Structure 1
C-alpha cells in the first residue's frame, strides 16, 4: 500500500497475533458446531435449511473484519514511506541570454519569445517557498530580480527582457553567483544556507571576452561556481541552422552546445539541448522536478487506516445483513 519502507513503532504488529488468535478461535468454534450439528441433525432437513453454499458465504464477514483489524495494526505501527515533497527552501537563479542572436526564427516565433514563454512556465510551477532570481546578459549582465519567493517580480522581469549586442556568458554567471552569495550571507553563510542552483539558458557562443578561460570568461566563472558549491545547469536553445538578419545580411547564429556542456561539466551541473519550445519546456520540467522537489521519509498510515476502515465497515455490514448479527 504505497512504498512501505519502515515502521516507527513496530511493537503494534504484535496485535496481529491477537487477531490471528481470534480467527483461530472462530475456526475452532465453527468446526465444533458443525460436528455437533452433524452428530444430532437430520441430514435431509439440514441440507434444505442450510445449503452448503450459504455456509461458505457466512464466513466472509469475519474474514473482512480480520483483514481490516490487521491493516489497523499496521497503521498503528507507524508505517513510513518515501514521499516526493516540495522543497521549502532553496535558491535558484535563472540566467537568460538576451543577445541579438536570440531573435533568430528557427524556433517559432523566435528564440527569445519562446524562451520567455518557457521561463514563465518554469517560474509558475516552482514550489512557493523557493527563492528565485533572474539575471539577463548580452554584452553585460544585469541582476533583474534578487532571489525572492515573490514570483510576480520574476514574471514581470521575464516579460520585459530586451535584446542587446554581444554575449558575455561569464558575466551572467558571475552575477548569478554574487546574488546567491548575498542571500547566503543573510541566511547564515555558505555552510548553513539551503542548496542553490544556476540555470543558464543560451543559444550562442560567448563573444565578450573571446577566450572562455579569461578571468571573466564562462569556463572560469563555471569553476568559481564549483568552488562555491553552486552547480550550473545549462540549456542550449536553438538549431545549428539559425540565422539573424542584421542590416540586410543573414548572419549564421548556430547554437554552441560544446561550450555550454563544458560549463555544466565544470560546475557539476547538467546539460540540456533544446531545438524547440517543447524541448525547452521538457528541459525546464526536468530541472523543476529535481530542484523543486525532494524525497523525504514520512508517515504513510493514512492509506492503511482508510482501507482498514473500509473492510471493517464492510465486514460489520455483511455480518448484520447476512447473519442478522455480528460474527
Structure 2
C-alpha cells in the first residue's frame, strides 16, 4: 500500500467523506442486526441453520466489506496524495574551482593530490545530470576561468586533465573568478525566470598565500546567495620537495569550514582519493537532482477500482448461489 502523510495531500477536505462512510457502516450493521432479530422471531433455529448455515450468512457480508474498503481507497485517492521524488535539475550552474598550487604535488594521496583530484573531478563532471551547466576555474598565484559554464562535458573534462601546478595559492581569487563567471552566464541565459541557481565547488589543500581574503570572497558569495561547497583535500602529513627541501603542506580545514559556513554551503573533508570520490558523488546527488512532490493518487485509484470489482463479483456470486 502506498505511504503518505497528511501534509502530502492536495485536497484533504475529501476526507470528510469518511463521515458518510462511517454512517454507511453503522446503517449496515443496524440493518443486519434488525434483520437477524426479525428472522429469529419468526424462524425455527434448527430449520434456519439447515436452510442458511452460519458460513453462508458470513459470506453474505463479503461484498459490502469489499465495497467499504474500495471506498476507503477511492477517498484517499480523491484527497490527492503526493510523494517526494528525486528528479534531475533542468537548470543550474556549478563552478568547479580547483587549487593547482605546488602543494598539489604532495604524494600523501596516491599517486599525488593533483592526479587524484583530476580523476575525481572528471568523474563528477561526466556523471552530472544533463541540465546542469558546469564551468571550471583553476587557481594558484592567480585565478583563471578555463571553461565558462556549459553543458558540454568533454570541454570541461579535457581542461581538468590539462591542469598543472603553479606557485602560490589565491583561494579568494578563485572564488571571485567563479562568481564573475556565474554572473556573466546568468546575464546571458537569465530570461524571465532570472538566472539559474548557482553553486561553487571549491577544492583546495592548503592555506591561501596571496590575493584577496578568502573569507571576504565567501561573504560576497553569501550576499549573492551562491553557496560554496568546500572540499579540504589532503592530510596533515603532506610534503612537497622544492629545490631539494622537504616542505610540509598540511591542509587548512579550519578556513575551508569557515568559507562553507559563511556562504551557506557545506564543508567536506577528503584525506584519500576514495574519500574525494565519495565527496564528489555526494555533491553530484545534491546538485544534479532536486526533490519534488508529485501526484501519488494513481495506486489508490487502482486499488479502489480492483476492490470495487471484487465486491461486484462477490455480490454476483452470492446472488447466483441464493437462487
> Residue 182 of structure 1: CA displacement?
0.2
**Partner residue in 2 for 1:311:** 307
Instruction: State the partner residue of 1:256.
Output: 252
Change (3 A) 1:35 1:154: farther
Structure 1 stretch displaced more, 143-152 or 170-179: 143-152
Partner in structure 1 of residue 230 of structure 2:
234
Q: Return the match for 2:149 from 147, 150, 157.
A: 147
Asked if the contact 1:58–1:323 (Cα under 8 Å) also holds between the matched residues in 2, the reply is no
In 1, Cα distance between equivalents of 2:177 and 2:267: 20
Q: How does 1:142-181 map to 2 (within 5 A)?
A: 142-181=144-183
> Residues 241 and 57 of structure 1: is their aligned pair in 2 closer, same or farther, counting only changes over 3 Å?
farther
Q: Over residues 78-122 of structure 1, what are the superposed CA-to-partner deviations in whole Å (9 max), with x where a residue is unaligned?
A: 334555444332211111122232232322333223323332343
Aligned-partner Cα distance in 1 for 2:122–2:10: 42
- Once the two structures are superposed, residues 216-239 of structure 1 have per-residue CA deviations (whole angstroms, 9 ceiling, x without a partner) of 342333233233332222110111
**TM-score normalized by the length of structure 2:** 0.82
Offset at residue 140 of structure 1 (A): 3.1
Which deviates more, 4-13 or 222-231?
A: 4-13
CA RMSD of aligned residues (A): 3.3
Distance 2:86 2:308 in 1: 30
Q: Mapping of 1:47-58 within 5 angstroms?
A: 47-48=49-50, 50-58=52-60
Which shifted more, 57-66 or 251-260? Answer: 57-66
Structure 2: stretches of 5+ with no match in the other structure: none
Residue 279 to residue 73, structure 1, CA distance change in 2 (3 Å): same
Partner of 2:295: 299
Indicate whether 1:182 and 2:170 are aligned.
Answer: no
TM-score normalized by structure 1? 0.81
Q: Work out whether residues 5 and 81 of structure 1, in 8 Å CA contact, stay in contact via their aligned partners in 2.
A: no
Secondary structure class of the residue paired with 2:247: strand
Matches within 5 A, 1:203-282: 203-207=205-209, 209=210, 214=211, 216-246=212-242, 249-282=245-278
Residue equivalent to 2:133: 131
Q: How many residues align?
A: 320
Query: Do the aligned residues in 2 keep the contact of 1:5 with 1:82 (CA within 8 Å)?
Result: no
State the alpha-carbon separation in 2 of the partners of residues 317 and 109 from structure 1: 70
